[in-house]
Chains A and B, each alone.
Chain A
Amino acid sequence: MFNYDQYLRLNKFPLIWCSGCGDGIVLKSMLRAIHKLGINKDEMCMVSGIGCSSRLTGYVDFNTLHTTHGRALTFATGIKMANPKLHVVVVTGDGDATAIGGNHYIHAARRNIDITVILFNNFIYGMTGGQVSPTTPKGKRASTAPYGNFENAFNISGLAQAAGASYVARATVYNAVQLEKYIQRAIEKKGFSLVEVLSPCPTAYGRRNREGTPVDMILHQKENSIPVSKAESMTPEELEGKIITGVLVDTERPECRTEYQRLIDHLKEEK
């Protein structure tokens, strides 16, 4: 048993999320990771944008900020620059981070600012009625793609990697223990850290694509997950429709707030 209550605003319960939504499993993994790190609640700042996943900040008893659509990373950047002692964690979804907030996303990664992003990828805009998102796989149905999506999907983790993030990992809610480990490492890591979590949306996505019950969707993750070490020796055809899980990037790069402080100190010395 883990005492989640110490980190929750219990008067906001039960959770707003649909039956079988994976977001609650991610929330629990986050709380366990934060507890393991022994972070004081007052030193934690959680920022979210708009969307199903972004409702998370209402349930946790940290410093929290529920911001405008796509702008969670901009608020988080401001917080980190003003108060670098805070652990800043951004909770966002695939649409919030890579469509409306796509520009902020790549630039936060480019700056390599010490922010941890937990990105809930459910392949769709769940809250607003199941529209196509930038990660909806080709051929899958959405309310705005009744005959199947004809566009190519974004590789969210690949995007952060290419833009210069220090830490990038992908996990599923099926493997919640692994997810917790990655979140813990991402918060510890100095620099821009991304954990992309595949969270099933049975209501807006699963129903339209006949993916079955929440249990079927979670077991689908289990059956189609490939560890990154194994995926390296597989062909793109073999990896079609598979979920590559694991740590994709774990590297050291100059961090934005540290470099800024160095500049301030340098200019003060010159005076």
Chain B
Amino acid sequence: MSEQKAKKKDVTITINEAWCKGCVICVELCPESVLEMRSGKAKVAHLDQCSACMLCELRCPDFAIVVVDNSKVDQSSE
């Protein structure tokens, strides 16, 4: 598990490396180039660019990416 916190936007992206099969779908279809491939697995490279569009989570066929928009989590819990 690799976890990184955003500096500009409060987004947390978690990638489950044990489930990631390295299909590159998330990396190629991310509109903000947040992710990249390292040793055959997806990794978060530029978290500050993430706009929390959720497309990587939506299209990951292996349930390996979880994107949490922390600002929305805070709102919903209020």
Q: Which residues of A contact B (CB under 8 A)?
A: 1-2, 4, 8, 13-15, 17-25, 28, 173, 176-177, 202, 213-215, 218
Chain B neighbourhood of A18, CB < 8 A: 21
B58 adjacent to A23 (CB under 8 Å)? no
Q: Which of B19, B23, B54, B66 contacts A14 (CB 8 A)?
A: B19
A15 adjacent to B24 (CB under 8 Å): no
- Min CB distance A29 to B, Å, is 8
| A-B interface contact total, Cβ < 8 Å | 61
Q: Name the A residues within 8 Å of B22 (CB-CB).
A: 19
Across-interface contacts of B69 in A (CB, < 8 A): 1
Residue from B59, B66, B67 in contact with A176 in the complex, judged by beta carbons closer than 8 Å: B59
| Residue B29 at the chain A interface, CB threshold 8 Å | yes
| Closest CB in chain B relative to A74 CB, distance in Å | 29
Other than the given A20-B24, A214-B24, A218-B29, 15 more pairs (CB < 8 A) read A8-B63, A13-B63, A15-B19, A15-B62, A19-B23, A23-B61, A24-B61, A24-B62, A176-B58, A202-B23, A213-B24, A214-B23, A214-B25, A215-B25, A218-B25
- Chain A residues near B59 (CB-CB < 8 A): 25, 173, 176, 218
Contacts of A25 in B (CB 8 A): 58-61
Asked if A24 contacts B60 (CB within 8 A), the reply is yes
Contact status A215-B18, CB under 8 Å:
no
Of all chain B residues, which has the CB nearest A176? B58
Q: Of all chain A residues, which has the CB nearest B66?
A: A1
CA distance A78 to B63 in the complex (A): 33
Measured CB to CB, the closest approach of chain A to B69, in angstroms, equals 7
**Shortest distance from the beta carbon of A107 to any chain B beta carbon, whole Å:** 32
A24 to B59, CA, bound (A): 8
Whether B6 sits at the interface, judged by CB under 8 Å, is no
Contact of B34 with A by CB under 8 A = no
What are 26 contact pairs spanning A and B, CB under 8 A? A1-B54, A1-B57, A1-B67, A1-B69, A2-B57, A14-B18, A15-B61, A17-B61, A18-B21, A19-B22, A19-B23, A20-B23, A20-B25, A23-B61, A24-B61, A24-B63, A25-B60, A25-B61, A176-B58, A176-B59, A214-B23, A214-B24, A215-B23, A215-B29, A218-B29, A218-B59
Contacts of B66 in A (CB 8 A): 1
Complex-state Cα separation, A214 to B21, whole angstroms: 12
A214→B28 CA distance, assembly (Å): 10
What are the 3 A-B residue pairs with the smallest beta carbon separation, nearest first? A24-B61, A20-B23, A19-B21
